[in-house]
Structure 1
Amino acid sequence: MSQLLSLETPDHARPVRLRTERGVFAALDVPPAGHAPVRGTALLVPGFMGSKEDFLPMLPALSADGVRVLAVDCRGQYETGSASSTPAYSQDDMVGDLVAVTRSLGVGPVHLLGHSYGGSLVRAAVIATQGDPSLWASVTLMNFGPGAVSSWQRERLHLLLSVVESMSLAEIWPFVRSKDESVPEDVERFLERRWMGNSPIQLAAVAQHMLDETDTTADLARMAIPVSVISGAPDETWDPDGVERMARQLGAAFVRIKDGGHSPNVHKPSEVASALLDFWLTPQSAAVA
């Protein structure tokens, strides 16, 4: 599960409902702070069991430097729910959602970022659209590896799949909740509420997507789009060394964030924001040698 330690939200962040040709999606829209001009727009995509709130710790720094940020709940997640009257949860469907959300913004190409399983979605979206420069200004993969997750995570995914159809989400919650005693009570209550807002069908579908993940790094490398890779370490989901090798294959700007863990956006938000701003606002940033 995505980690979270605080629900502190910038005063100028607005919860919005993005109406698209594929349904309605819940998002946080955070314009540049003060009267700063917009220097770019970023679309942030959370991972499995996550939500738009995973990015809260980074929002002040990104906003202060002139970036408009939209963090979205994907189809089946938290406040988005089913998104449409006929929800479907194939990866192609969820990729189509990202394209529709981007087009609905009407702002030109966006900086696309995916955390964990969100990295799988953004990679697939860029490949499916052939790196369309009218949609994407850049793509960032954060704590996402080239292919299959670790054997430990595969065991957890298989376990979830074995119970998600026979147990309620309330019954499963004690087994997936954070065991970190430093998590504040209000955050713990939010995490439970978020878990209960998920679609069980989506949870099962995405768990299977992660088990079936194949390495399409070479396909992404053929796209004419700036790429960056951020790797919090240590990470038990994708090996940071494997993530770095993927970055080299992509010719991507690469940043490893010590003590960032699987959610450097939570544990080291200022370092992640600095890396993103360097990449987004100076796209000529050097790639991994």
Structure 2
Amino acid sequence: MSTPRFLNLPPGVAPHRIETPQGTFAALQALPVSGVVERWPALLVPGLTGSKEDFIAVLMTLAQSGRQVIAVDLRGQYETQGPDDPAAYTCPSLGADIDALAQVIGGGEPIHLVGHSFGGLVAREAVIDGRTRFASFTLMSSGPSAIEGRRARSARETMREVAELGLEHVWHHTLEPEALAAGVSEEIVAFLRKRLLANSPTALRCMTEEVLGMRDRTDELRQIDVPTLVLFGENDDGWSPETQSEMAARLGAESVVVPGAVHSPAVEAPETTAAALVRFWNAAEKHYLDTRSTAV
């Protein structure tokens, strides 16, 4: 189980709520300590059982590159409210939320988009639907289609337990013992319990169905003219490194393998992950400006 390194927010990071036509979203906002924003903003989208807090360890490093950086909770996830309607939690519906968030955050200017795990599948919908112009797109520990291997088996079992026994049962009989066995601190264990129980059970069930049944949209994504990065841990157990490398090749995208990381590079190797994102974002912005200058 990958957990946030710390829960105390660093300087320059603050809770935030973003109002959009799709609803209100809980977020963490990071700004440069100087207060000077010189580059395009970035939006970070968490995975299925995660939240905005999964990005705490990288937020300030990313913001110090001269950007506003926003990490959000998806609809029905932790501190963002969601309805009981299953249709609200399909990838296209959640992708529309990302479009709305990006348009508010960017104010009409391009924005960098990062999706972790299931969040990558959701963010991919926003890129493909063409409603928003993105400066770049990063798939972080996210594959071309349904999740694989051990995590797929775990997701099916968790979905069954949530439906039959409820979130409290899943926490006490599965997730809490795993966290304690991994030596997770009491503070983090308390946070993980609070986060799980705050999730909408409908959202968890429907999002799990989405990640287990996702079709391959790589060819569609390749048709979109947006710089794309595929970033993953060398020991990823969600989508294998081989699967993600093959996806990057099909996309003609840059690929970054994070040494020592498993499925959550932003938690397990934050400095390496942040450095890779900043370098990629800077290159994408330079390419955009050079292309526009040539066109003019």
Note whether the superposition's TM-score is higher than 0.5. yes
Q: Which residue number in structure 2 is paired with residue 173 of structure 1?
A: 171
**How far does residue 128 in structure 1 lie from its aligned partner after superposition?**
1.2
Match of 2:144 among 141, 146, 170: 146
Cα separation, 1, equivalents of 2:69 and 2:84: 24
| More moved, 81-90 vs 61-70 | 81-90
1:43 aligns with 2:43: yes
Pick closer, same or farther for the CA change 1:17–1:181 going to 2, 3 Å. same
**How far does residue 228 in structure 1 lie from its aligned partner after superposition?**
0.6
Instruction: Determine if contact 1:47/1:117 at 8 Å carries over to the other structure.
Output: yes
**How far does residue 151 in structure 1 lie from its aligned partner after superposition?**
3.1
Q: Which residue number in structure 2 is paired with residue 282 of structure 1?
A: 283
**How far does residue 183 in structure 1 lie from its aligned partner after superposition?**
1.9
Instruction: Determine if contact 1:14/1:29 at 8 Å carries over to the other structure.
Output: yes
**How far does residue 87 in structure 1 lie from its aligned partner after superposition?**
7.7
Cα separation, 2, equivalents of 1:99 and 1:192: 30
Cα distance per residue 1:14-37 (max 9 Å; x no partner)? 211111111110001111221433
**How far does residue 149 in structure 1 lie from its aligned partner after superposition?**
1.5
Cα distance per residue 1:174-213 (max 9 Å; x no partner)? 3124245332211111111000110000000011001111
Q: Which consecutive residues of structure 1, in runs of 5 or more, have no partner in the other structure?
A: none
Report the AA paired with residue 150 of structure 2.
Answer: W
Report the AA paired with residue 144 of structure 1.
Answer: S
Alignment of 1:127-166 (within 5 A): 127-129=128-130, 132-133=132-133, 136-166=134-164
Cα separation, 2, equivalents of 1:87 and 1:24: 18
SS at match of 1:25: strand
1:124 aligns with 2:116: no
Q: Which consecutive residues of structure 2, in runs of 5 or more, have no partner in the other structure?
A: 288-296
Cα distance per residue 1:241-262 (max 9 Å; x no partner)? 1101111111112110111110
**How far does residue 96 in structure 1 lie from its aligned partner after superposition?**
0.9
| More moved, 164-173 vs 116-125 | 164-173
Instruction: Determine if contact 1:63/1:69 at 8 Å carries over to the other structure.
Output: yes
Pick closer, same or farther for the CA change 1:218–1:86 going to 2, 3 Å. closer
SS at match of 1:165: helix
Report the AA paired with residue 254 of structure 1.
Answer: S
Q: Which residue number in structure 2 is paired with residue 3 of structure 1?
A: 3
**How far does residue 148 in structure 1 lie from its aligned partner after superposition?**
2.1
Cα separation, 2, equivalents of 1:228 and 1:83: 33
Instruction: Determine if contact 1:74/1:94 at 8 Å carries over to the other structure.
Output: yes
Count of aligned residue pairs for this structure pair: 282
CA RMSD of aligned residues (A): 2.0
Instruction: Determine if contact 1:2/1:49 at 8 Å carries over to the other structure.
Output: no
Identity, in percent, stands at 36
Instruction: Determine if contact 2:44/2:114 at 8 Å carries over to the other structure.
Output: yes
Pick closer, same or farther for the CA change 1:180–1:255 going to 2, 3 Å. farther
